[in-house]
Amino acid sequence: MLKRFNQSNNGNVAIMTGLFIFILLILGGGAVDIIRVTTIRAEMQSATDSAVLAAAALSSTQDPVVAANNYFNANFDGTRYSIGEVEFQATVVADRRRLRVVDATAQVDVPTLFLKFIDVFNGGNRFETIEVAVESQGRERIQATEIAIVLDTSGSMNGPKINSLRTAASSFVEQLYEGVNPNRISVSVIPFSANVNIDPVIDDFLAPADIPAAGDTLESPCIIYDDSDYDDELIAGTRSLVVQPSDPGFADIGNVLDPNRCNPVPFFLNSRRPLELQGTISDFVAAGRTDAHIGMLWGVKTLSPSFSGMLGGDFPDRPFDYDDDVIKALVVMTDGDINPGLDADGVQRTSDASAEFLSLCNDSRDNGVLVFTIGFQIADGSQADIVLEECASNPSQYFLVEDLDLDSAFDAIAVAIGNLRVSE
């Protein structure tokens, strides 16, 4: 009896030993399965990432979904692992002129080589396959930036103030282009005084019948604006020229190119060339009245999509539409109250120039334009101070400069615009 007991015990030990070895083999094989699944997941993730990046490329002319599938199939070969068909799906989330976003998912059930034997004990198929699923998003944005710089060069800016403006504005332009592809940023410089010299685009705003009276000078780079110009997207082609009248009693008499009547420096629009923008700034002449509403009018219109293709310069398709794909910024600097300006007869207008100025500010903000304003050596609480603070997109975007240090204000604006480009 003792001998039979020992034989039975030895048999049980052998069975337990065999079972233990079998479990060890399953566990060791299970590690192989896990490594295999991890490798497949990594390769699927890499292929999916490559697929969405290729599909999101704005330079590609291929349908984004087709491109994603082609890139995934080229970069992931499931036959290497003897797995089933991979379910790959790409979806175009956004596809606009300067933004494309593509999402993609990939999923496959990977057959196990060793873990499936666990099912021998539970009679099921829970470990026959392991699901592998990955997802990714590709995005490409061409972050365009459009900036209008409206600068006061009226007579009160004469002396150290105009020199400070030339230095600070030139440095501002340089900062705007630092580390930026110039093809993505367009800048317009608009000097104003008694009017804005629109010589580069004057032919677009003249009526054929606009013939001056006898003795008046024909050539002029400035026009007389109508009240409706501050509301309309476009300026009518029937606006009159600012001309030198023959009547010596006419207000502001002088040659039409006299800075007291029409700013001698033309605006420079829609440019990608910082050196030429700086050249315009270096030519500034301080003379004339402070008709900031006319400067603001052109700052707004040079950012308006209604003027797309009409501004000349380096970007025939700008200004772009108001949307999330473009940063539009308007920077306005003045050192005094807003004059109402003169009408076509040389008589001071009765319209509220400050109200027109603020109306333009409101329109800009409503269209998503970032408005920065600078009050240069103006009295705290004055009309100009109140108007400029109200005009800015928020109080932190209004700068009251009490000394000659315009650089600090322009530097802060350059940093704000630069940070916005990076965050986008």
Domains by residue range for the chain, with CATH? 2-141 (no CATH), 144-423 (3.40.50.410)
Average pLDDT over residues 71-77: 91
Lowest-confidence range among 17-31, 69-83, 147-161?
Answer: 17-31
Summary mean pLDDT of the chain: 81
Predicted pLDDT at 221: 81
Average pLDDT over residues 231-259: 58
Q: pLDDT tens-digit profile of 281-320?
A: 999 999 888 889 999 999 999 999 999 988 999 999 999 9
- By CB atoms closer than 10 A (0-12, 13-18, 19+), residue 374 is buried
Predicted pLDDT at 169: 97
Predicted pLDDT at 344: 55
Q: Above 60 in pLDDT, residue 424?
A: no
Q: Above 80 in pLDDT, residue 265?
A: yes
Average pLDDT over residues 252-258: 47
Q: Above 50 in pLDDT, residue 267?
A: yes
Lowest-confidence range among 98-112, 147-161, 244-258, 284-298?
Answer: 244-258
Instruction: Place 253 in a pLDDT band, splitting at 50, 70 and 90.
Output: very low
Lowest-confidence range among 12-16, 89-93, 185-189, 231-235?
Answer: 12-16
Q: Above 50 in pLDDT, residue 254?
A: no
Predicted pLDDT at 260: 60
Q: Which of 4-8, 17-21, 93-97, 148-152 has the highest mean pLDDT?
A: 148-152
Predicted pLDDT at 251: 45
Q: Above 80 in pLDDT, residue 138?
A: yes
Average pLDDT over residues 263-288: 94
Q: Above 70 in pLDDT, residue 259?
A: no
Q: Above 70 in pLDDT, residue 341?
A: no
Instruction: Place 423 in a pLDDT band, splitting at 50, 70 and 90.
Output: very low
Predicted pLDDT at 258: 55
Lowest-confidence range among 65-69, 83-87, 319-323, 344-348?
Answer: 344-348
Residues recorded for the chain: 424
Predicted pLDDT at 270: 96
Whether the bond between 305 and the residue before it is cis, its omega within 30 degrees of 0, is no
Predicted pLDDT at 109: 86
Instruction: Place 375 in a pLDDT band, splitting at 50, 70 and 90.
Output: very high
